[in-house]
Structure 1
Amino acid sequence: MVWRVDSSRSDAERSQSAPCGDRVGQPNSRNPQYRRACDGRVSSGLRGSLTKVVSKRLTDDQRVVVNTQARVCMAIAPAGSGKTEVLIRRIERLLEESPGESFRLLAVTFTVKAAEELKTRVSRSIGEEAWRIDADTIHGFALDWLRRSGQMVGVSPDVVVYTERRDRVDLLRRFLDSVEEAHLDEGTLLDILNRIDELRTDLVKPWEAPDESFRGSSFRLRELYEAYLTALDDAGGIDFPGMLAKLLDLFEADPAVLRRVQRTYRQVLVDEGQDLTKAQAQLLRRVVGDGLELFVVADARQSINGWAGGGMKWAEMLVGPDCERLELRHNFRCATRILALARQVAQHFNPPRTDAEPPPGAPEGLVLSYEAQDSEEEARRVVAWIEGLISTGLDSTRLIPGEEPRVVPEDIAVIARTRYGLDDVQAELVRRGHQVSVQVDAASFLRSPEARLFHALLEVQANSNNRPAWRRIEEELVHILGSTPAIAGDEYELDDLLEAVSGTSSSSLVETVSRSTADADGLEGIMAGLGAHEYIAEPDLEQLVGWWLEYRASTAYQDRDVGGFLRYLLRVQQTRPDQPGIRLMTTHRSKGLEFRAVAVVGLTQGAFPDYRALGDEQEIDEERRTFYVSVTRASRALLLTWPRVRRTRYSQRDADPSQFLVEAGIVV
């Protein structure tokens, strides 16, 4: 097998673009075209991640988007077009033009981390006025208002958030146990729950559900749907679909709450609008009403959440047919060869789409492809490529003159369609002594079972009916003690747990929490006891005490309690810095990110695109968009690999190259 180098572009084509968006390599280039395109941008000069750029000037199309006065506007923002910079600059303009006013802006982002970064950047640039920007996910926004005002629809301030699928399945299983239908397997229960979630995402009520059945169950879908909602309410819980549905119900039941929301905000700004679901778009539509301003950033080419009910059509429904439509025209991220490949892929979308143009003077960059004999050889070749980048850097002739060629591990990402597709590369990286940061799930931010036990104890201190927290307590006690202590009955309190663990190594930690109250004084005592007795080893102890001190310093005494501290810890978990090392992630986790070098692996027909999409043109088009998102994460170097023999979970099988490699001109 041989390496293949993309040489499809002429010298003239290679000289037609330059990066000048949110993040670039080194903006102090000696290239005069680059300097004109990126005049005024200031580099942070930091290594270890992509250099962040603060824009002093905007391109003409960016300036139009920032300054538009339209009440409702949709900005089409392709990959690398500087949409984050535009969104922030628009927020800054709106706040700077209204000093001393009390209205707020609501910025809805795809992740909590993106919301925190947005607010941090705005705070640095405009200072005190930054209190007027509320940045959150749509679910975070909904839960906040429900905790404040949701009693009428059965949501209390200490509502338990059911985030893990196994806890939600357990609610369904408890209902079936109660009616002596406990024989359904885990797969069937997951199928039922997935079908219920689909209906809730589309705002279908239980009585409107289709008349469907599931193998092995005597209950119809609508009965199971109603039973699940009842079980969730009885547990004092809420899940992600419920946050949206409950807030819409609250607006209907108590219109005064909706009026308070609308009096709070003047404009709603939505990022990643192409992945809105029907429920999300409907909720935002109710919030905006006829009076608030609406600004949506979206790009149909990057719509990859159809599996969860997301799609560009819901962004279109949100803004309506009469909105102002603007477009960002340049890709400031990708080198010309990478952008040429992305543009070729975009021609195969249904309908075909043009892609962003490069601004003058961009670097050539590098696109490589490799066909391996099997998955193990593919992993070895990918790791060899990574090691070459780290040891010798990027080819300076393919960069902007003066750009730093050196590459550090955090500049590199390996992307696969599924978590399973990363296993061989991860194993090879670890075998060869490389540090990796696997970013496929929101893993626990606490390392030791004692620290995780403490966190779960706080959760049941805040709400003794928190079933997921009780499950986590049992799991961590198994890790610590080797078994779960016997507690009589299905419903129990912390005192019952304290009695059950008496005489064990965990008894002091359980006693510290169970003997305290959930208010400010009780929380103070819990944290003092935690630090004094050192139940928890470093570095978890140091982190927990540090987060406690931050929470105490930022929260008035009368507002402190265990629930508030837990919400602060949740924010910490969702926004914590990534671990050092080479990034490994699925395409869906890579969304919104960029790296100097990216390897997209496992590009075989049936793996990427997924075998379940074959034969369905609509699903193939979503897989194609997923591939497009994968390749446009790379700014300077892109490697595409596939094995001739693919290892599945059950066997080895011959594999053909992905059809997307053919469409991109990599495979003939």
Structure 2
Amino acid sequence: MPHYPDSQAKGRDDLLADLTEAQREAVLHTEGPLLILAAAGSGKTRVITRRIAYLVSLGVPPWQILALTFTNKAAAEMRQRVLSLLGADEDSAETNRRTRGLTLSTFHALCARLLRRYAPLMAGAPGWGIRDDYTIYDADDQNALMKKVLADLELSSTNWPARMVLARISAAKNELMDAETFGRAAVSFDDRTIAKAYRHYEAALRTANAVDFDDLLMLSVRVLRESEEARREVQERWKYLMIDEYQDTNHAQFVLASLICTGENGHDAGDRARGPNICVVGDPDQSIYGWRGADISNILEFEERYPGARVIALGENFRSTAPILAAADALIRNNKQRKHKPLFTRAQGGDRIEVARCADEHHEAQHVVNWLKHLAESGSLAWKDMAVFYRNNALSRVAEDALRRAGIPYIVARGTAFYQREEVKDLLSYLRLIANEADDVSLRRIANKPARKISRSTMDVVETWAERWGVPLLEAMRRADKISDLGEQATGALRKFVQLIDSWTSGGTFMGARMEQEAAGEGGLRALVSRVLGESGLERHYKELAAKTDKDSDEDRVRNLGEIVSAAAEFEAAYDPGADPALSPRRAREDEPPIPPLLAMLRAYLESVSLVADADKVDPASGAVMLMTLHAAKGLEFPAVAMIGLEEGLLPGVRAMEASEGIEEERRLCFVGMTRAKRKLLMTHAKVRSQRGVPQRAIASRFLLELPREQIIDKDLCDEWLEDVESGFGYGPARARESAERREAGSRPSGHAGTRGRGTAAFAENPGGASESHAADGIASGVTVRHPQFGVGCVEVVQGAGINRRAKIRFRDVGTKTLVLAYARLEMVPNSRT
């Protein structure tokens, strides 16, 4: 390791004192490539932060350290821990001296800053078209833009949904395929159509001087590939790279990391014998984002990419009890795509996992409620200590109903995020237009909000003129008097709107003397946001709406707008434009004027808002039971966890069952859910579950069968539920009795009219009618079948056995489909064998 002044020798031993041997080994290995295989609950955040603090204690300049993760919440937690370890108060001058320039960031936030700085260097590159004042489009903005693109291309929204097209483009960008590259590779009609939409979508983004989230990564990679100056600066700046959750990185993130630490061809700027100082932390057993581009091979093949890499396994779990851990470990050992590591805990004892078989989803929800109530009433746990996990959001409805009836406070970790709410996006759209006058998506949103006599037909005329002359919409509005198709009233309305925007930007000099004077003191950003809120008419609009409707939800809208002003004030108080001078924007020309301070602050604020991730919104300390998907639970922990819907077709999902790789990712997802539980774990499945209102037989998940019997308590609660329902208890007396009557009337076999329990059992075995339950038994190659959605088809191939049995069927109308027979609802056509 290079010699640095011994700036922090005191306390260095304290950084290692309470670490395990493996953790200490990881912290002390400061030079060369390092892979830390961190099992669930093994203290990986502690290791990362101690390693950063240890490097600083050795005298490594903080600005040479770059740590990347996936959420702002994780980055903020790391920063707080590092500051604490260095023994300095966050606001002190000593902290600023000892941590100045230390970069703890998400991938997307880092790339946003790289593009701000280096975009001017790419000004002449073919197809670049991005300035450093670009806007980041969120999912709603992208969807709005794509809908316009598809309409311009006369592509049906039914056949080509905007979100589906965007998903295909996102996948391409994650593989670093720009529109031209994707177009050259397109062969099928579908791919050629997507390629055409991709080209027009990219052109629209560039016209608006905007990027989407995937562009942040792809364009940053392009900068580092094509600009030797940018690449040299970045590599000289950051000598130590650390990446958390490495198993979740996609191809673009993998290439970005390679370019930062070695150059794409693997040539290290430092000691080539030693290799680059890249440390990655992750667990292949927790790779659950393959559906959005994560590439598990990045971590599995780390040693091939970086020969001589050191591998250290953190196998000791400090979170879960022994039974939970033993069961989770037994489950994940069924996967082949993994790196073996020990998984153990020194803690002894603990309750076994409860696996409950319930009659249906209502019984399941009621059992979970009873389980949660028992834990709360025993005094050992509070509501905030409990969580309910599920594979998809649709499963939460019945659980929410049961919790609501029981009076248990709960929060669902989904819904409309704060920055996605209508009124908030309205205000942010005004601010984004101020920061980037080419942002046509934002302008379309607020041109007539609140109403100012700018009609849809007026906007159509302006857009046509803007496209003809190749100018942004705001510039076209400025020239409204030259657009012959506009009437006098429309021209006047447009003129007033332009005057409103210019009053905030002083026609391009930004804010004018008045606002710059305020920015020099306190409240510049807060004053700007407050002024826009009032002068735009938004505040009055939503106040009048609240007064008219007298709804709490509309009152909340007014409060949300005020919260944006508060958020701006908080951002301004924490904003330090000089904290990282190496990442300040580069100017394309020496004589180019500097960016006005308030404009730079506004752009930084809007960037921070755009990069808020879903995981940043989950608050386990909310005082209520948390409901969330298994994906949202990643990185969290709770003393008590209930996992519902452990059934084939749900976990694992139907699509995942078509390939072994899909099954392995679903198993990892189940593993992640189990290892969030610290002390108590309940896993439930139902005999019958309604799909689109129709009761269907359910089969217990194969993952439950892979759990060691000695670590679980199996409970079959179906008979108990029927007794409760018939007694008028369960999930509400009236509904329970009605449900019991409906079950017995619809499912009791002849000859068993008076036998308690048999009705439910028969219903579970034959939920959809007499012919369906054994139809799959006679299906073989050459048989003709009928599917309720796809129609008549011929079975070509049958593979697998039991619940994994699948058939490849050539349907007359829709082509070839591969269906899981347990769920396919096929009907054999008589005398059909060929």
Is the contact made by 2:69 and 2:107 (CA closer than 8 Å) also made in structure 1? Answer: yes
Going from structure 1 to structure 2, the CA distance change for 1:455 and 1:198 (only over 3 Å counts) comes to closer
Query: Where does 1:327-476 land on structure 2 (aligned, <5 Å)?
Result: 327-350=313-336, 356-393=342-379, 405=380, 407-440=381-414, 443-445=417-419, 450-470=423-443, 473=446
User: Residue 682 of structure 2: SS of its match in structure 1?
Assistant: strand
From the CA coordinates, give the structure whose radius of gyration is larger: 2
Could you list the per-position Cα deviations for residues 422-467 of structure 1 after superposition, in whole angstroms to 9, with x for gaps in the alignment? 22212322333333222246712587x5444323322222223334
Question: 1:168 pairs with 131, 142, 161, which one?
Answer: 142
Residue 106 of structure 1 aligns to a residue in which SS?
strand
The equivalent of 1:212 in structure 2 is 187
**Does 2:124 align with 1:148?**
no
Deviation per CA, 1:64-86: give whole Å up to 9, x if none.
01111331000100101111111
The CA deviation at 1:125 is 2.4
Secondary structure, counterpart of 1:516 in structure 2: helix
The amino acid that maps onto 1:559 is P
Q: Which has the higher contact order (CA 8 A, sep 6+)?
A: 1
Look up the match of 1:526: 528
Asked if 2 retains the 8 angstrom alpha-carbon contact of 1:495 and 1:514, the reply is no
In the TM superposition, what whole-angstrom CA distance separates every residue of 1:108-134 from its partner, at most 9, and x where no partner exists?
102121111111221222232223321
Tell me which residue corresponds to 2:238. 265
1:38-187 alignment, distance < 5 Å: 57-98=18-59, 101=61, 103-126=63-86, 127=88, 128=95, 129-151=98-120, 152=122, 153-164=128-139, 166-179=140-153, 181-185=154-158, 187=160
What one-letter code is carried by the residue in structure 2 that aligns with 1:90? R
Shift of 1:328: 0.8
Q: CA deviation at 1:337?
A: 1.2
**Kept after mapping to 1: 8 A contact 2:390/2:629:** yes
Query: Which of 279, 292, 296 is 1:312 aligned to?
Result: 296
Question: Which residue in 2 is equivalent to 1:488?
Answer: 458
Most deviating of 120-129 and 360-369: 360-369
Give the corresponding residue for 2:773. none
Contact 1:375 1:643 (8 Å CA) reproduced: yes
Q: Structure 1 residues 113, 493: CA separation in 2 closer, same or farther (over 3 Å shift)?
A: same
Q: Does 1:590 align with 2:576?
A: no
Question: Could you report, residue by residue, the CA deviation over 1:560-583 in whole angstroms, capped at 9, with x for unpaired residues?
Answer: 333233234456787567254211
2:597 corresponds to which residue? Answer: 559
Matched with 2:281 is 297
| C-alpha displacement of 1:235 | 2.6
Q: Is contact 2:249–2:295 with CA below 8 Å preserved after alignment?
A: yes
1:510: how far off? Answer: 12
The separation in 2 between residues aligned to 1:230 and 1:416, in whole angstroms, is 40
Task: Using the TM superposition, give the Cα deviation of residue 251 of structure 1 relative to its aligned residue in structure 2, in angstroms.
Answer: 1.8
511 and 427 in structure 1: CA distance in 2 versus 1, 3 angstrom threshold: farther
Distance in 2 (CA, whole Å) between partners of 1:474 and 1:376 is 48
Is the Cα–Cα contact under 8 Å of residues 445 and 573 in structure 1 kept in the other structure? no
Q: Which moved more, 1:356-365 or 1:586-595?
A: 356-365
Displacement, 1:136? 1.4
Q: Which segment is superposed worse, 543-552 or 61-70?
A: 543-552
Per the alignment, do residues 304 and 524 of structure 1 end up closer, same or farther by CA in structure 2, a change over 3 Å counting? closer
- Does 2:604 match 1:629? no
Distance 2:656 2:338 in 1: 19
**1:60, distance to aligned residue in structure 2 (A):** 0.6
Structure 1 unaligned segments of length 5 or more: list them: 1-41, 43-53, 394-404
1:663 counterpart residue number: 706
1:95-115 Cα deviation digits (max 9, x unpaired)? 11116x364211110212111
Cα distance in 2 for residues equivalent to 1:301 and 1:573: 23
SS in structure 1 opposite 2:26?
helix
Q: Check whether the contact 2:39–2:343 (CA below 8 A) recurs between aligned residues.
A: no
User: With structure 2 as the length reference, what TM-score do the two structures score?
Assistant: 0.64
The secondary structure found in structure 2 opposite 1:515 is: helix
SS at match of 1:132: coil
- Cα separation, 2, equivalents of 1:376 and 1:408: 24
Please give the alpha-carbon distance, in whole angstroms, between the structure 1 residues aligned to 2:369 and 2:489: 50
Whether 1:651 and 2:704 are equivalent positions in the alignment is no
Q: Within 2, Cα distance between the matches of 1:468 and 1:416?
A: 35
Q: CA deviation at 1:630?
A: 0.8
Q: Where in structure 2 are there 5+ consecutive unaligned residues? A: 1-13, 89-94, 123-127, 263-267, 270-275, 464-472, 479-487, 517-523, 544-554, 578-595, 716-834
Q: In the aligned structure 1, how far is the partner of 2:280 from the partner of 2:707?
A: 30
Q: How many Å separate the matches in 1 of 2:181 and 2:247? A: 30
Q: 1:329 to 1:530 in 2, by over 3 A?
A: same
Cα shift at 1:336 = 0.9
TM-score, normalised with respect to structure 1: 0.79
1:228 deviates by: 2.9
Structure 1's 468 and 588: CA in aligned 2 closer, same or farther, altered over 3 A? farther
Aligned partner of 1:489: which letter? Answer: M
Moved more, 580-589 or 594-603: 580-589
Range with greater deviation from structure 2 (318-327 or 74-83) = 318-327
Partner of 1:23: none
Aligned to 1:400: none
RMSD (Å) for aligned C-alpha atoms:
3.7
Q: Percent identity?
A: 28
Give how far 1:57 is off. 0.5
The whole-number CA distance in structure 2 between the counterparts of 1:146 and 1:232 is 15
User: Is contact 1:268-1:288 (8 Å) kept?
Assistant: yes
Is the contact between residue 72 and residue 613 of structure 2 (CA under 8 Å) also seen in structure 1?
Answer: no
Contact 2:418 2:424 in 1 (8 A): no
The 1:306/1:555 distance shift into structure 2, 3 A limit, reads closer
Partners of 1:487 and 1:61 lie apart in 2 by: 67
Letter in 1 for 2:291: W
Deviation at 1:485, TM superposition (A): 5.9
Distance 1:384 1:510, change over 3 A: farther
1:326 deviates by: 0.9
